[in-house]
Homo-oligomer: A and B are copies of this chain.
Amino acid sequence: MKLDDLLKHTSEWLRGTGPKSNIVISSRVRLARNLDKKPFSNWANAKRQKEALTIIKAAVENTSYLKGALFVNMKNTDELDRHFLMERNLISKEHMANVENKAVVISDNEIVAIMINEEDHLRLQVIQSGFKLMEVWRMIDSIDQELSKYLSFAYSPRWGYLTSCPTNTGTGLRASCMLHLPALMLANQMDKVLDAVGKLGLTVRGLYGEGTQASGNFFQVSNQVTLGRSEEDIIDNIERVINQIVVREENMRNSFLKRNREMLSDRVFRAYGTLKSARIITSSETIKLLSAIRLGVDMGFIKDIDQRMVNELFILTQPAHLQKIDGKVLSPSERDARRADLIREKLIERKGKKR
């Protein structure tokens, strides 16, 4: 498999399947791990970084979940590749710079990804469609256990797993769900929700993690605390909180359906009409409109496309994806035109099929 082959299929987490996938797009867990008695990646010189990379690569290649996985040396990627990987949630922003000894390993269907020499030696990630954090946790836990057969991780009996940044120390675990909350937004209830979520030790971010804004009614909810609690406790806590948010969103959707059906269908169909008509469209407008049609599909207003198509469009319409599809660098205004074309192709072609 080559990097560009990723374009040919849909990441598992975009398939729109799994429990509550109308509201919970994806569930993700990541673990931060470091090699014992080796300097953290950011403190290591090139030689020590390379050493860590070699050791980890060998271990990863032996791991059953990662047979046949794509191994990407970051130094062999260009700017566009890196943005492409970030848009697919496979690497962090930090992983795009100083790439000399960085790598990312990507499993089939992109369910598992391991960044090597990010701020920690290993950043394991498992991401899947729908609301199933516990399942995702069990999967990453077994990968972690398998890896620990080949690698000795930095671990203190008192503190737990040691990490480059102290906020990750302990379990090294960050669990998150990507939520789509258009009804709570429309009802101006999100401030209340965010407030409650904060008090419960969770934090809310935008589409691309730390430092990004929520847009198009998408929110990433994750745990803040990694220390002093067991992994299953952390997962259980975040699952319970998210479950409450999901119930609130569902109730609000039903209440809108009962009381503002016409207003809602107007919004949905206008968004759909604009996406099928525009000849120039920015990325941020696209996200907003896709958010509306995602709601429309869930509520049964739009019947000729499915969630998977909507989820795919979120990813495909991003700047690096557009350029990868075209196989060349595009200026921002070229991208806005290309994006509009792509959306029309997808929505109108799909409509022709009438699945």
Contact = CB atoms under 8 A, between A and B. Distances in A.
Contacts of A274: 270, 273-274, 277
Interface in A322-345: 337, 340
Interface string A235-270: 000000000000000000000000000110110011
Given A266-B280, A270-B274, 6 more contacts: A262-B337, A266-B340, A269-B277, A269-B279, A270-B279, A274-B277
Nearest to A344: B269
Q: Which residue among A263, A273, A337, A340 has the maximum number of chain B CB atoms within 10 Å of its CB?
A: A273
A278 B340 CA distance: 20
A317 B340 CA distance: 30
A301 to B, nearest CB: 9
Contact of A263 (B265, B266, B270, B280): B280
A263 B263 CA distance: 29
Tell me the number of copies of this protein.
2
A199 to B, nearest CB: 38
A235 B270 CA distance: 45
Contacts of A288: none
A314 interface: no
A62 B277 CA distance: 54
Interface residues of A, number: 16
B278 A269 contact: yes
13 contacts: A262-B279, A265-B279, A266-B279, A266-B280, A269-B278, A269-B279, A270-B274, A270-B278, A270-B279, A272-B277, A273-B274, A273-B277, A274-B274
Interface of A: 262-263, 265-266, 269-270, 272-274, 276-280, 337, 340
Contacts of A273: 273-274, 276-278
6 closest residue pairs by CB, A with B: A273-B277, A273-B273, A266-B279, A269-B277, A266-B280, A265-B279
A293 to B, nearest CB: 11
A157 to B, nearest CB: 62
A299 to B, nearest CB: 13
A266 B265 CA distance: 23
A62 to B, nearest CB: 53
A13 B280 CA distance: 35
Nearest to A272: B277
Contacts of A280: 262-263, 266
